[in-house]
Structure 1
């Protein structure tokens, strides 16, 4: 399979993971630093635990864990266990790659000129 095709498949997997409203809300919370209506420093915003991410979302902790694993599987977030806590964060490169998808007109065509 071509690198181009692999890239399209990877984007599709990422957008599929983000198509779930709960996962989109969790991802958005990670990319915007803090829960709505609060403020935090850059150090606090860098990583949030699964418990912190779920605050105010009315989602069971086990469901949040499932959604975070799906975002991680899709390559959208990083996760690291620290004792009993699991910290989650989004690398800036991920946001850059997602943004580039919408800025690259060539992604609508295969290298041989065929359209998707």
Structure 2
């Protein structure tokens, strides 16, 4: 993923996700697009950061509150947050010297819709 690339999950005009795995095989472009989002989520640090942001009361968290949870430098945490932002999963705003992050619920909903596979009769898990 390039430094300036932002991945946005496709959304149909009616707001529905247009890429459920069970609806039809993914075309190459859609698979590449989704792989970038899953790659952003494929790192344990980024997954924990996303979870910490999403579970935060009030819906947003300062980077200064995220950094102490990891044995990583502040620039490394900022890099991971940048990748989550480029994947379209979080957004942020600078307030003075600090940056505040929040999850983009619509992006997570579209991602969940892609993974939603309806149960069929006779299939057990």
Asked if Structure 1 and Structure 2 have the same fold, meaning a TM-score greater than 0.5 normalized by the shorter chain, the answer is: yes
Partner of 1:91: 104
The TM-score with structure 2 as length reference comes to 0.66
Distance (whole Å) between structure 1 residues aligned to residue 30 and residue 117 of structure 2: 12
> Which of 55, 65, 69 is 1:32 aligned to?
55
Q: Does 1 or 2 have the higher relative contact order (CA < 8 Å, sep 6+)? A: 2
Distance (whole Å) between structure 2 residues aligned to residue 5 and residue 52 of structure 1: 39
Greater percentage in helix: 1
Distance (whole Å) between structure 1 residues aligned to residue 91 and residue 82 of structure 2: 10
Q: Is the 8 A contact 2:46 2:84 kept in 1?
A: yes
Deviations 1:3-38 (A, max 9, x none): 7654432221110011111111101111222xxxxx
Q: CA RMSD in A?
A: 1.9
Partner of 1:49: 62
Partner of 2:121: none
The TM-score with structure 1 as length reference comes to 0.70
Q: Is the 8 A contact 2:91 2:103 kept in 1?
A: yes
Deviations 1:20-79 (A, max 9, x none): 11111101111222xxxxxxxx42xx1111111223222211110010011111111101
Partner of 1:69: 82
Partner of 2:44: 21
> Number of residues paired by the alignment?
93
Gap runs ≥5 in structure 1? 34-41, 106-116
